[in-house]
Amino acid sequence: MKHADLIIAGGTILPMTVSSESIIDGAIAITADRICDIGDRTTLLNTWSASEIIDATGCVVMPGLINGHTHAAMTCFRGLADDLGLEDWLHHYIFPAEARHVTCEFVYWGTLLACIEMMRSGTTTFCDMYFFEDAAAQAATTAGMRCLLGGVLIDFPSPNTKTPAEGLAYTQSLIEKWNNHDLVNLVIQPHSLYTCSPDLLMKGKKLADTYNLPMGVHYLETAAEFALLHTKFKEGPTAFLKERGFLSERFIAFHGVHMTPRDIEIFAASGASVIHNPESNMKLASGVAPVPAMLNAGMNVGIGTDGCASNNNLDMLQEIDTTAKLHKVQLRDPTVMKAHTVLDMATRMGAHALCLNGVTGELRVGLKADLIMIDFNKPHLTPVYNAFSHIVYAAQGSDVDTVIINGRVVMRNRRLLTVDEYEVMAKVNELAEKIKKSLNLGIVKHEQ
């Protein structure tokens, strides 16, 4: 008999691979950080023994969710400035608060809080764009989460760096420190085409090409950005990216709300991906990304929550529910964005977007053991006719029972094993008190 470190036995397994079907009463064997076998429970338990066996009876076992775009440390700004337009929100609230308060300590504790929230709701991998990303990497490794991160490259001074040259140097230092880490992956992240000069964009691209890293950029999030970029780039922003060699399977566009049919055609041909952030786009009234058209064109599309200051949570199960329903009402077609498609976007397609395909996003032999158990023994999940449908339309973050990342159990029976969540919440509340005082935030008056 073969020996594994851990076996998940029982329940329904959703591998989320391109061709495989659900496994009723299945089992998964894990050795070190990888899946070494998967199949029906009886056969697997007759083949493998393990130091530990977790009973998944009554649960659905599936790959961990992948949050394709967020600003994790902005948990510290949750609810700071709601019900505002993007420009007002950024320039009058978020940018001033960041200038005064964002430090390594802020990013560490804010990211750790984000990791807690994400793990509790079934996310095992996230793509982060923010400042002091070395502190974010430290927080993610403390929590035991897989991440893709990179410091913001931007033309004007930030809390982290004062010049574009400093931003590039900081990004280089992140690569030198964290590249080839087991949990931390790197991405080159110019903030956007409207906050970065063509020179900075090209220097970021050179860095990405040198180290074969992905590049992620906020792209066509608002109508105002669309108009600005079509003035800035006479050939249009997508043509600019194509002609200068940005577009490939290593390019990630965050949002893509105002992409045209021609933009979609170019992206699909290049292999570039989009990360859809429906709740943030809805809350800031940025618009609805043409995701069904993207998928029909053969584009790869993942899902992200964006940051807590514009969402206001990091619950990917809630995000996928919104993704499925938003496009049905937008197109007045209940058949678009089927449950299985949306779950693909939150797992396998999300991994592909982040250049982590072959690492995570699916349950198959040889991949990292990043998986979650969702407890279906709940009134709102009874009875079960279709597990995919239940996960997208009925499951809640609080239904996630157990989380395993890189072969390590980080949450069991809803109890986090890697971090003290009450200590983290206390630290973030201390930071929030300082923010309230500095911005003169008192009791909010309710307006009709």
> What letter represents residue 386's amino acid?
N
Please count the residues of the chain. Answer: 448
The confidence score (pLDDT) of residue 447 equals: 43
pTM, 2 dp: 0.96
Q: For the chain, 448 residues long, give each residue's pLDDT as a single digit of tens.
A: 999 999 999 999 999 999 878 999 999 999 999 999 999 999 999 999 999 999 999 999 999 999 999 999 999 999 988 888 777 877 788 888 898 999 999 999 999 999 999 999 999 999 999 999 999 999 999 999 999 999 999 999 999 999 999 999 999 999 999 999 999 999 999 999 999 999 999 999 999 999 999 999 999 999 999 999 999 999 999 999 999 999 999 999 999 999 999 999 999 999 999 999 999 999 999 999 999 999 999 999 999 999 998 899 999 999 999 999 999 999 999 999 999 999 999 999 999 999 999 999 999 999 999 999 999 999 999 999 999 999 999 999 999 999 999 999 999 999 999 999 999 999 999 999 999 888 775 544 434 4
Q: Tokens standing for 39?
A: 């199949």
Q: Rounded to whole angstroms, how far apart are CA atoms 160 and 243?
A: 31
Helix (H, G, I), strand (E, B), or coil: what is residue 135?
A: helix
Give me the torsion for CA of 381, 117, 14, 411, rounded to 10°. Answer: -100
∠ CA 347-350-356, rounded to 5°: 100
- Ordered strands of the 26-31 beta sheet: 34-40, 26-31, 2-9, 48-55
pLDDT score at 444: 42
pLDDT at res. 94: 84
Give me the residues paired with residue 35 across strands: 30
Q: CA nearest 29: which of 40, 21, 37?
A: 37
Residue 333: partners with Cβ closer than 8 Å, 6 or more residues away: none
Structure tokens at 49: 């023994």
Tokens representing 231? 């003035």
DSSP labels, 12-42: EE----SSPPPEETEEEEEETTEEEEEEEHH
CA-wise closest residue to 248 among 219, 218, 273: 273
The CA distances from residue 68 to 123, 204, 328, 350, in Å, are 10, 20, 22, 6
Query: 362, 138 in Cβ contact below 8 A?
Result: no
Q: Are strands 189-190 and 251-255 parallel, antiparallel or unpaired?
A: unpaired
